[in-house]
Amino acid sequence: MKGWCQKLPVVVNGKRYESELSFKPFEPVVYETVRTYCRKLFMLREHFRRLLNSAKLVGIEKVPDIENLKRLLEDLMEDIDGEVYYKIYLRPNGDIFVEYQKAPEDLVLADLEFSEYRKSGIIPRQLKIVGRTDVLMARIYKKTYDVLMLNPEGFLAEGSFSNVFLVKGQSIITPSLDTGILSGITREVVIKIAKRVGFEVVERKVLPWEVFESKEIFITHTSRGIVPVRKVESFEFKAPGEVTEKLLEAFRSFVMEGC
C-alpha cells in the first residue's frame, strides 16, 4: 500500500527520481520549506533549526548535516531558472526527500475565510509534520487562498500555512506565540523589519471580530513573503494598504541585502 505520494521533481538523499515516491502509512514525516532570493537560500539555518526541533518532537534521531543539505539544495537550484522553492521531508530512517520548483515572484492579493476547524490544543504548536490533522482538515475544505484558524479558546491563531497580521492605525498586531501558533520564519523577519522602519508591533491574543475592525490585513509565509489581504469572508480591505506597502518595500530591501 502506498502512503503519501509526491508528483513534483524529487530527490532522495541526493539522487533524482522521475517516478512517484511514497511514504509509509502512519510513519512520522516532518518537513520544512525554504526558498531563495537572488538565487541564495533565505534563512536556511533558521529553517533547519526548526526542522530539527520537529524531528526531536517525534523521536527522529537520524538527522541531516546542514552543510550537506545546503550543498544539495544549491545543486538542485541549477535545474530551475529563477528563484527556487523547496519542501524538505525527513523520514524516521534519516532519508531526506526534497521537492523543488520555481518560486512565485508575482504579488498576489489574498481572499480569506474563517475555518470551522480549530488549531489543536494537544499537538505541539511548533511541530511541522505531514498529515497534521487540524491543518489538514482546514486545507481540505478551504475555498480561498488560505483560511483563518482559531485556537481552542476561540482566539485568532493563524492560517493553515501562514501567519496573520492586522493593522490598526500605525500599530501592527499579530497573535502571540502563547496563542498556539507556529513561529513562522517570515513572521519573525517581518516583525523585525516593521520595528526597524518605525511601526509598533504588538504580539497578543486577538479576538476574531478584531479582523473586521482592522484597517489592513496581510499574511506571511515562506513561498511568497508578505501577501496583502483584500477580503475576509465578505468584508473587503484596501490591498495593499499604506502600511502593508511600506512593509513590502522594506521586506524587498531586507532580502536584497544578501544579493
Q: How far apart are alpha carbons 149 and 212 in whole angstroms?
A: 15
Encode the chain (259 residues) as per-residue pLDDT tens digits.
233 344 445 555 555 655 455 566 678 999 999 999 999 999 999 999 999 999 999 999 999 899 999 999 999 999 899 999 999 999 998 888 888 999 998 899 999 999 999 998 888 889 999 888 888 898 888 899 999 999 999 999 999 999 999 999 889 999 999 999 998 999 999 999 999 999 999 999 999 999 999 999 999 999 999 999 999 999 999 999 999 999 999 999 999 887 7
- Return the H-helix or E-strand segment holding 111: strand 110-114
- Return the H-helix or E-strand segment holding 33: strand 30-37
Q: Cβ distance 246 to 197 under 8 Å? A: yes
Q: Which domains does the chain have, with CATH numbers?
A: 5-102 (3.30.470.10), 110-256 (3.20.10.10)
CA contacts within 13 A on the Cβ side of 231: 7
What DSSP state is assigned to residue 145?
S
Q: How far apart are alpha carbons 230 and 259 in whole angstroms?
A: 31
- pTM as predicted: 0.89
| Predicted local confidence at residue 159, as pLDDT | 96
| Predicted local confidence at residue 2, as pLDDT | 32
Look up residue 92 and give its three cell numbers: 524516521
Q: Cβ distance 237 to 217 under 8 Å? A: yes
Angstrom distances, CA of residue 130 to CA of 52, 90, 181, 188, 202: 15, 10, 17, 23, 31
